[in-house]
Amino acid sequence: MQKGSSLILVALMSSLLSVGLYRWFEPAAKSEWSDMEGEARYTSFVDKLLNTRANANLRHVAPTNFVQAAAVSTPAVVNIRARIEEDGGFWGGGSVSGSSGSGVIMSPDGFIITNHHVIDGAKEIKVTLSDKREYRAELIGLDAATDIALLKIQENTLPFLLFGDSDSLQVGEWVLAVGAPFNLHNTVTAGIVSAKGRNINILRGGGSIESFIQTDAAVNPGSSGGALVNTAGELIGINTAIVTESGNYEGYSFAVPSNLVQKIVRDLKDYGEVQRAFLGVGIENLDNETARRVGLPDAQGVHITRINSDGAAGIAGLRVGDVVVKVQKVRVRGTAELMETVGRFRPGDQIEIQYWRNGRLFDTIIRLKDKNNAAVPGRYQGNEMESELGFALRDLRSDERRRFPGPGAMVQSVRRGSIVAATNMQPGYLIMKINRRRVSNIEEAMALLQTAGNEIYLEGRYEHEAENYAYRFNKPG
């Protein structure tokens, strides 16, 4: 009887202990699972007891919602078709071909970003909006070094995308690719950022800049020039390339970062061409052997292999053998990132460089130069005589240089009621001579206009006219 009483007492104490332990863990369990629908259930009490710490941060996470980002971005992505005429050469028999791609509306007044390779060599460019309206587009400028081109259509109330900050983009972050693959308008695909700062050696030329955002969002032929957007619907890249053996998407796609795109399109709008800044150095990625030799703990950085003593970096005191580790206080891991960062600046801009030399870190300020070692992109913007004479000038774009018989300064606008307007001059007139002296660009044209006497005599050509036109007027006063 005494043995039986002992067993009952042990069983009772075990039950009380179990109930006590359950109630001790119950409040934490309810708190952790309070945002789940229905009653929380555990796999077992032992699992809960053994994994209290492991489950401490467990929360219900809703799936990422792409609906809003797609709704914002699809109306601002367009289909682009380009008609390309190829010269048959001496024997004639030229052919006509075409290409198609996508584009992104960047402002309500009709400026559209696309890829250089989509419209390269085009004689005619047509843009189809998401609502099926069609427009003929004007080529504003293009840049083969980044594969970016800027178009313009005549509209003022268009949907457009806001630029996001591509620097803040994180590997693993969700993104959407929006374009018109195979002429299928408003196609949206999703993926994650696979890598940043990718160089795939697809762009040609010594000044090319490749620091692509790599994603696994599906991009196919016809998507080139389309938008890469984040989940807020902000433009963080222009889809440009795929790496493929079949010709179609195989899991890798690449986009030009939006922070670089912004600089390129600003230059194309302001100058008709990119004002590219240079350090004046030869560079290579840092390898482990070189890193050990110079005393760096890792192989992240850019090794200077050649330097122009008259270039921006040479004047600032950098030498062959130095390793650039930071630009604008941001760590630089390789040549692609360095070239992208410098590519966002214009000649004359100053940037902060941190570099490693002889076991020490140094900081310096470098004033960037252009390819001709000039520190400013140009003294004139083209509107210096607008208030006095009534017209604004710009340099010829690269496509226009092929169509006109010679260099000059293009009349961009004519103000109504001005001295120039009284001559019946129209925008699109190429000034080739001022007072019998040849001019090649707005620099030379503005210098002559400002220093000329009272009488001005202009000679030039309109694009579709076979004969030259001349205009004569007097400066005020």
Residue 343 predicted with pLDDT over 50: yes
**Which range has the worst mean pLDDT, 96-100, 148-152, 370-374, 410-414?**
96-100
Q: How far is CA 118 from the centre of its chain?
A: 16
**Which range has the worst mean pLDDT, 17-31, 111-125, 196-210?**
17-31
For residue 96, name the pLDDT band (cuts at 50, 70, 90).
low
Tokens of 433: 């001579």
Query: 64-274, what's its fold?
Result: Thrombin, subunit H (2.40.10)
**Which range has the worst mean pLDDT, 43-57, 180-194, 226-240, 369-383?**
43-57
Tokens of 62: 């809703």
The Cα 234–Cα 258 span in angstroms is 10
As annotated, the active-site residues are 117, 147, 224
Q: What was the pLDDT predicted at 49?
A: 36
Helix (H) or strand (E) holding 443, with range, is helix 442-451
For residue 473, name the pLDDT band (cuts at 50, 70, 90).
very high
Kindly state the average pLDDT of the residues 156-163: 93
**Secondary structure letter of residue 137 according to DSSP:** P
The Cα 59–Cα 56 span in angstroms is 9
Tokens of 88: 């048959």
The residue with greater pLDDT, 74 or 60, is 74
Tokens of 381: 């913007």
Which residue(s) pair with 32 in the sheet? none
| CA dist 207 → 257, 368, 371, 405 (Å) | 17, 15, 10, 28
The residue with greater pLDDT, 448 or 29, is 448
The residue with greater pLDDT, 87 or 92, is 87
Q: Give which of 226, 249, 240, 126 is closest to 180, Cα–Cα.
A: 226
Tokens of 437: 């002296």
For residue 151, name the pLDDT band (cuts at 50, 70, 90).
very high
The residue with greater pLDDT, 237 or 10, is 237
For residue 373, name the pLDDT band (cuts at 50, 70, 90).
confident
Q: What was the pLDDT predicted at 90?
A: 43
CA Rg value for the chain: 31
In the chain, the N- to C-terminal Cα span, in Å, equals 129
pTM of the predicted model, to two decimals?
0.66
Q: How far is CA 457 from the centre of its chain?
A: 42
Task: Say which amino acid occupies 302.
Answer: V
Residue 398 predicted with pLDDT over 50: yes
For residue 38, name the pLDDT band (cuts at 50, 70, 90).
very low
Interstrand relation of 323-327 and 350-357 (parallel, antiparallel or unpaired)? antiparallel
**3-class DSSP assignment, residue 300:** coil
Q: Calculate helix-pair angle for 335-343, 258-271, nearest 10 degrees.
A: 40
Q: What was the pLDDT predicted at 451?
A: 82
Residue 118 predicted with pLDDT over 60: yes
Task: Say which amino acid occupies 336.
Answer: A
Residue 137 predicted with pLDDT over 50: yes
Residue 4 predicted with pLDDT over 70: no
Tokens of 111: 């400026």
Q: What was the pLDDT predicted at 221?
A: 82
Q: What was the pLDDT predicted at 310?
A: 84
For residue 211, name the pLDDT band (cuts at 50, 70, 90).
confident
**3-class DSSP assignment, residue 430:** strand
The residue with greater pLDDT, 477 or 79, is 79
Tell me: the pLDDT tens digits for 221-243? 888 999 999 999 999 999 998 77
Q: What was the pLDDT predicted at 453?
A: 84
What is the percent of the chain where pLDDT is above 70?
79
Task: Say which amino acid occupies 55.
Answer: N
- The residue to which tokens 């075409």 are assigned: 98
Which homologous superfamily does the CATH classification assign to the domain defined by 386-474? PDZ domain (2.30.42.10)
Which residues lie closer than 8 Å to 242 by C-beta, 6 or more apart? 219, 220, 248, 249, 250, 252, 253, 254
The Cα 380–Cα 377 span in angstroms is 9
Q: Which CATH class is domain 281-367?
A: mainly beta
What is the percent of the chain where pLDDT is above 90?
47
**Which range has the worst mean pLDDT, 43-52, 317-326, 440-449?**
43-52
Strand residue runs (E) in 50-152: 77-86, 95-105, 111-114, 122-128, 134-136, 138-143, 148-152
Q: What was the pLDDT predicted at 26?
A: 47
Whether the CA torsion 253, 258, 263, 266 is positive or negative: it is positive
Mean pLDDT of the chain: 82
The residue with greater pLDDT, 18 or 160, is 160
Residue 32 predicted with pLDDT over 50: no
The Cα 236–Cα 176 span in angstroms is 10
The Cα 305–Cα 285 span in angstroms is 10
For residue 351, name the pLDDT band (cuts at 50, 70, 90).
very high
- The residue to which tokens 């060599």 are assigned: 121
Task: Say which amino acid occupies 387.
Answer: S
Q: What was the pLDDT predicted at 387?
A: 83
Q: What was the pLDDT predicted at 57?
A: 42
Q: What was the pLDDT predicted at 272?
A: 77
Tell me: the pLDDT tens digits for 253-288? 899 999 999 999 988 887 778 888 999 999 999 989
Kindly state the average pLDDT of the residues 3-15: 56
Q: What was the pLDDT predicted at 30?
A: 39
Q: DSSP string spanning 323-358?
A: EEEEETTEE--SHHHHHHHHHTS-TT-EEEEEEEET
Q: What was the pLDDT predicted at 48?
A: 43
- Give the CA count within 13 Å in the CB-facing half-sphere of 229: 29
For residue 36, name the pLDDT band (cuts at 50, 70, 90).
very low
